[in-house]
Structures are given as structure tokens and as C-alpha cells.
Homo-oligomer: A and B are copies of this chain.
Amino acid sequence: MAKRRKVGNLMALAVLSALVQQPMHPYQMASVLREHGKDQNMKIKWGSLYTVVQNLEKHGLIEAAESLRQGGRPERTVYRITEAGRAELTDWVRELLSTPEQEQSRFTAALSVMAVLSPREAADLLSQRLIALDKALAARRSALAEAAREVPRLFLIEEEYELAVAEAEIGFVRGLLGELTSGTFPGLADWQAFSETGIVPPELAELMERGLHPQ
């Protein structure tokens, strides 16, 4: 059972891991994360970054090391990780690594309401997705290969994982698309009829009622 973290945002994890390397101030964290390609998967949201840093401090996971002001007006506070912060980091990573937890993806949500479109259109949109996915995969693959020449695999492993998942998605979409365009997808005729006439085939009508058990 995933225990409630004092600071649950995954950006907090990134901040802690950045501070393990060396103390730094918030803006520098952002640069470091960006250089590590973290902004690819996780756009840096400024509001969140500063809130997260504040919360981490409030809970004693990080602390202000010094506060230097030079030239530029706004005083930059350099933070360092505390012992409690290190403990939280390792404990958190342990939990995240060992305990799978299904998260909802936007694509899953889309698939679950795909029936509101016509099968033709759905197929059309899926083929657009497929093209985009293929392109993105190729780009990421070559970027990974490029990076692998300098950076040890340990620090690229998350990208490898993402690529594996992306491949699976591509396989799924390709398969589904094949069934839709070849007409072998079961129930395609009913779906087609429904989307044209708005009439739910009798054997489906019964199913749609189920679960409503009105009142």
C-alpha cells in the first residue's frame, strides 16, 4: 500500500535526486533537470517547482544552505538535502520500483469512449496516431543511441523503458487499425450502423442499460 508521502509530487523526487549530487538553488535545479532530459517527459512547471521546494523544506527533507545575492537582485537560496531527505528519497524509490500501480493514460481514456465516433473516423485518427508514434519513436531511438555513446546505460534506463512501452503501443495501434480497415474487427457492422443511424442494435441496447439500474 503506497504510503502517503509528505510531498507526493514526482517533481519532488527529481528535486531530491538533484540535491543528492550537490546543493543548489531552485533555478539551477531546473537547469540540471533540463540537461538531464527530464523536461522531455516532465515539462518544468515553475509554480510547482517553487511550491515543491518550499514543501520539502517545510517537512525537513531539504534545508537552506546559504542565501547569496550577487548582482542580480532576487536573492537565491541554495538548498541542500538533509538526512531525512536522503531517507525519504531511497524509501520512495524503493516503493516506486517494487510496487506497480496502474495509472490512467489519456489514450486509455480515449479508447474507452472511442465508440462515440464512427469506425471510419476512428481508424483515420488511429492511423494519424500511428504515423506520429512511429516518427517520435525513431527520433527518440536515435537520440538514445547518440546519448549512449557518452552516458552509461544506468542513466538512460528510463528512456529504454519508455521506448519499450512506446513500441508496445505502436504494436497495439497497428493491430487495431488492421482489424478496423480489413473489417475483421468483431461487431464492426453494428458499430457502423449505430454511428450512421444512431440506433443501438438490440443486443447492445440491453448491455447499455445494465449498470444503470435506475434509482
A contact residues vs B (CB 8 Å cutoff): 10, 13-14, 17, 20-22, 24, 28, 31-32, 35-36, 38, 40-42, 89-90, 93-94, 96-117, 121-122, 125-126, 128-129, 132-133, 136, 150-155, 157-158, 160-162, 164-165, 167-169, 171-172, 176, 185-187, 190-191, 204, 207-208, 210-214
Interchain CB contact under 8 A, A93 and B117: yes
Alpha-carbon distance between A93 and B31 when the two chains are bound, in angstroms: 35
Main secondary structure, interface of A, reads: helix
Interchain CB contact under 8 A, A207 and B150: yes
Chain B hits for A99, CB < 8 A = 128-129, 132
Additional A-B contacts beyond A153-B186, A164-B168 (4; CB < 8 A): A17-B113, A90-B116, A94-B117, A102-B136
Q: Shortest beta-carbon distance, A49 to chain B, in Å?
A: 15
Interchain CB contact under 8 A, A32 and B111: no
**A116-B185 contact given A102-B162, A125-B94, A129-B98, CB 8 Å threshold:** no
Chain B hits for A126, CB < 8 A = 97-98
Interchain CB contact under 8 A, A116 and B17: yes
Please name the residue on chain B nearest to A111 by beta carbon. Answer: B158
Q: Shortest beta-carbon distance, A17 to chain B, in Å?
A: 4
User: Of B10, B98, B104, which one neighbours A42 at CB under 8 angstroms?
Assistant: B104
**A108-B161 contact given A41-B102, A98-B129, A132-B100, CB 8 Å threshold:** yes
Please name the residue on chain B nearest to A200 by beta carbon. Answer: B21
Interchain CB contact under 8 A, A165 and B169: yes
